[in-house]
Structure 1
Amino acid sequence: MLIFTTAAELRTYAEQARAAGRRLGLVPTMGALHEGHLQLVRAAAQYCDEVIASVFVNPTQFNNPDDLRLYPRLPEQDAAALVPAGCTALFMPSVAEVYPQPAILRFDFGPLERVMEGAHRPGHFNGVATVVSKLFHLARPHAAYFGQKDFQQVAIVRQLITDLSFDLELVVFPTVREADGLAMSSRNARLSPAARAVAPLLYQVLQQAAAQVRLGVLPAEVQQQALAILAQVPEFTPEYLEVADAQSLQPITSYDAGRPVVLCVAAHLGGVRLIDNVVVA
């Protein structure tokens, strides 16, 4: 596996691979890799000749300085995990390499980003779109691989690809979970043993809410009951729980036949912010 730290190195590698007729897959990450990330790398390795993984804790998508400071950084461990998964090139740039000067361009994804994560983390998706655009330009992938755990982020990236005419395929894989249902996340490593023990409740609440959606319980009631369950657990501080249209991400007040629904939740647990979602077809 090659390791690049500069944009010029990655660009040269990608251009040479494309010129040789190789299919390139890109797996963008912020590191502290877990099985969810490695699933994406293995999938890319199955369908692509070259697999580029990026490990970059992107400061422009953090609106909480403490979250940025405490985000796990395990570069050696990440590199060791990527090799057997099939990664052929690892891009690990510095902040100065990615942002030689502050970006002036600002992205606005309209209603897609005015709800949920976008509403509670101002500027977050501008940072996501900026760094993803840079990676697409540098790595020139034929396919980019993302996980469904960041459901709204996937919707934003899909819109980015459409609006800027990036010539690549977006491949999305289901959320990978621990045995007790907790969605795998790099932030899970920051949970204390006590917090980790109650963390699976988040997914359990989503499952119960999904069952109610299937029974036709009105969205407002589904939301109210789910938040009430979380409120009974003092360790949790819910930020939002939305019953939304799975395509537009807008909150719904009723159900339309054939329109998938997504249940999205964010909550703080022991100083760690967790998110999860469940799609109801």
Structure 2
Amino acid sequence: MKIFTTRKDLRKYLSAFSGNSVGFVPTMGALHNGHLALITQAQKNNDLVICSIFVNPTQFNDSKDLENYPRPIADDIAKLTQAKCDVLFHPEVLEIYDDNEHWHLNIGELEHLLEGKFRPEHYQGVMQVVYKLLDIVKPTRIYLGQKDYQQYLVVKQMIALKHISVEPVMCPIQRDDDGLALSSRNIHLSPAERQHALALSKTLNWVKVNFNAGNIDSLQRHAFTMLQQSPGVDPEYFELADGQTLLPAKADTKNVVALTAARVGATRLIDNMVVKA
């Protein structure tokens, strides 16, 4: 695996692959099997696969969250090497951002729903860094995980508004055998908290099994109550939304996704599940 830390060196290397399809997997590191599944999917559809590891400061609302974000780069490199990833791009902050940069892209209501309510400006930071990375890598396809469902829609909207020639691909959530969605933040959970965190996937599964398009409001309220009553879980939201817009689902919505966020101990977790396709 080739490792690059500068735009100049990466672009020089990629110039030799003109005409080949390139799959791109942007990450913030602390890689797990969910990330590696994105690498595997990208390998199936492209001649060259590039993974980036960059803990992006502009998408953090809490400086402590940024400071505490795990950065096990040696382990990450070992995992990518074992997965036979072709290229790792691992830049420093000053390689990506100049001083006094300004970014704002109006994507409408999507930015302010769900995660946007609890993490103001988060998605502006996401769009900013993904735009920059796409400009550097210029891939054929970008691979994103379903666990960050809203993030996928945000990036997809940004790509359309900026007229970027890249295909966004959403890959399914990877879960442990007990149902917990894989996340870099799971490392912060104590053994007891990890058991408490299973309430998220159990509640999502309950809603999927009991989904009734004519009873959306009561399902949503009941699911939120289930989380409230789960030991060690402090839910922020549980919503049934249109899978294309994330606006509240209605009886005739064709694609419905259930999305939730909760704190388990000091760790904030998100999860989702398509309940009507």
Name the TM-score, length of structure 2 as normaliser. 0.96
2:176 aligned residue: 178
2:10 aligned residue: 10
2:198 to 197, 200, 221: 200
2:252 to 237, 253, 256: 256
Instruction: State whether structure 2 residue 221 is matched by structure 1 residue 224.
Output: yes
1:145 aligned residue: 143
SS, match of residue 195 in structure 2: helix
Q: 1: CA distance between counterparts of 2:240 and 2:269?
A: 17
Percent of pairs with identical residues: 45
> 1:114 corresponds to which letter in structure 2?
H
- Asked if 2 retains the 8 angstrom alpha-carbon contact of 1:14 and 1:140, the reply is no
- Asked if 2 retains the 8 angstrom alpha-carbon contact of 1:14 and 1:138, the reply is no
- Asked if 1 retains the 8 angstrom alpha-carbon contact of 2:22 and 2:140, the reply is yes
1:243 to 240, 245, 265: 240
- Asked if 1 retains the 8 angstrom alpha-carbon contact of 2:199 and 2:230, the reply is no
Residues 204-213 or 26-35, more deviating: 204-213
**Unpaired segments ≥5 residues, structure 2:** none
1:125 aligned residue: 123
**Unpaired segments ≥5 residues, structure 1:** none
CA separation of 1:35 and 1:55: change in aligned 2, threshold 3 A: same
For 1:89-104, list aligned pairs within 5 A: 89-104=87-102
Q: 2: CA distance between counterparts of 1:163 and 1:140?
A: 16
Q: 1: CA distance between counterparts of 2:263 and 2:41?
A: 31
SS, match of residue 175 in structure 1: coil
Q: 1: CA distance between counterparts of 2:47 and 2:213?
A: 46
SS, match of residue 218 in structure 1: helix
Q: 2: CA distance between counterparts of 1:127 and 1:218?
A: 36
SS, match of residue 37 in structure 1: helix
Q: Deviations over 1:9-49 (max 9, x none)?
A: 1222223312xx22111000000000010011111122212
2:159 aligned residue: 161
Q: 1: CA distance between counterparts of 2:41 and 2:220?
A: 35
Q: 2: CA distance between counterparts of 1:37 and 1:141?
A: 18
Q: 2: CA distance between counterparts of 1:200 and 1:102?
A: 42
> 1:179 corresponds to which letter in structure 2?
D
Count of residues in correspondence between the two structures:
276
- Asked if 2 retains the 8 angstrom alpha-carbon contact of 1:187 and 1:274, the reply is yes
Per the TM alignment, residue 217 of structure 1 is displaced from its structure 2 partner at its CA by 4.9
Q: Deviations over 1:36-84 (max 9, x none)?
A: 1001111112221211100011110010122111111011110110012
Q: 2: CA distance between counterparts of 1:160 and 1:44?
A: 21
Instruction: State whether structure 2 residue 270 is matched by structure 1 residue 275.
Output: yes
Name the TM-score, length of structure 1 as normaliser. 0.95
1:28 aligned residue: 26
Q: 1: CA distance between counterparts of 2:169 and 2:106?
A: 23
